[in-house]
Amino acid sequence: MPKLIVSNQRTDEMIGDLGTLPPEYRRYVAGQAQRMVWLAEPGDVLVLPVALDEEFLSYVAALKGIDRASWAVVVPPVGHLGEDVLSRDRLEDPDFVARLRAVVRDHGVRTILPFHFDRISVRLARALGLDTGTPGFPFAAQSGTALLNSKATFRALAVGHGIPVPFGTVTDDRQEAEEFLWQAMGEGRPVIVKQDFHVGGIGNEIVSPVPGVRPIGATGTELVTDRAALAAHLDRRWAHYAGPHRGKVVLEHYTPESPAIYSELLVTDDGVRLVGHGEMRMKPVINGLIVPAPSERLAAFAPFLDDSRRLSETLRRMGYRGTLSVDAIVTPEDRILVNEINGRVVGSAHIHRIGEELVGGDYPRERVLVEKRRVAFPGFRTTLDKLTAAGLAFDPARRTGVLVTVHDTGRTGGFGGCCLVAEDAAAVRILEGEVDALFGSTGG
């Protein structure tokens, strides 16, 4: 059944005021919005912040075995933040809603799939008559998905389930936060301080009493060696940590050099299905994926997947429907500590869809997939020609090669993306080196 895909990659509910996002990051988000095209099926309607290259759309459709003409792509008018994100004023523009209503009717759309089911998506679904047919709509309509994207709520759920998490606390009290931090400082422990709502590690900072702590999953590290310096730091940064709504702040002991991993699950009326898992490449915040997770060999990995299913079953009983990710870290002692859940489409969904539909077979066992972000592609035809001439373009028969997942039109300045598919980890490293030699490499 055709669906309406809304690629609202960043929303007010996820991060607060969209206007605080730097213009370069908003352009990056506009590029990442293209990822939702890989989830499209015949007859779907896509709402994207910017128009896409028709050659890129035809390329994706051909790889998926879909007639490009069956898709409709609708771009809202430019809003007060420009054309880089699907802001409220763009999605609620009366003329746009009327135009979209006609397209939805012509395509026989009955359900909506937003990247994040925020209150704007709820209102759009109601305006288009898609509320009754969409699984999980009653939960989303009561701000349920906002609840699931809260790091504070996650800690309550995880600890209540007996799931191992980093030692920490949740507070809205600045003095309580200072006491927690100072105690950790006295033990020589860095602490990661997290905004309750943000994505990709961008709302996180590390406060450390020792130098040389490399931030993974955070935007930076603040060296603090005495109580006065700690108080001064919180005076400067507490409003940022609490966010625009003066909400909860999450503080956790930070274990350096701990890779970030995830499990992706699909929650439906029938139950919970593990879609896949991987490792997040942090530079220092997320800039790609490795699928499957290299840490799956560890003894702690199977319990991590079991914990992911248990959390997902609870959320299913609460009424959530859709994709869910459970995030964790792998400590140097090979412990796995769960530190976040995300109730939205998540940035790994298109990679696992590519694995299922294009790579095929038992792809997590037979292939290694690496997602690269922020690749400086030239024009799309030139990109494909260069990949083909170098013998790197994805070959469906061999089930290896490079797929362009996000096309860099040049307007976005180096924010293209691709998925590398190879037989094993050694082969994928070689393939990545060849891609870097063709198009250059960015540090994130």
* Residue 443 reports pLDDT greater than 60: no
Within 180-248, strands assigned E span 191-195, 204-208, 221-223
Query: Percent of the chain, pLDDT > 70?
Result: 96
Query: Percent of the chain, pLDDT > 90?
Result: 81
Q: Which fold has domain 258-343?
A: D-amino Acid Aminotransferase; Chain A, domain 1 (3.30.470)
pLDDT in tens, 398-419: 999 999 999 976 555 678 999 9
> Which residue in 360, 378, 314 sits closest to 341, CA to CA?
314
pLDDT in tens, 206-223: 999 999 998 887 888 999
Give the right CATH number for 167-253 from 3.40.50, 3.30.1370, 3.30.1490, 1.10.3470. Answer: 3.30.1490
CA–CA gap between residue 244 and residue 246 (Å, rounded):
6
Tell me whether residue 247 is exposed, middle or buried, using C-beta atoms within 10 angstroms of its C-beta: 0 to 12, 13 to 18, 19 or more.
middle
> pTM of the full predicted structure?
0.92
* Residue 397 reports pLDDT greater than 60: yes
- What is the residue type of 28? Y
Q: What is the mean pLDDT of the chain?
A: 93
245 confidence band (pLDDT: 50, 70, 90): low
- Is there a contact between 19 and 85 (Cβ–Cβ < 8 Å)? no
pLDDT in tens, 116-127: 999 999 999 999
Domain ranges for the chain:
3-145, 167-253, 258-343, 355-444
22 confidence band (pLDDT: 50, 70, 90): confident
More confident residue, 179 or 283: 179
Tally of residues, the chain: 444
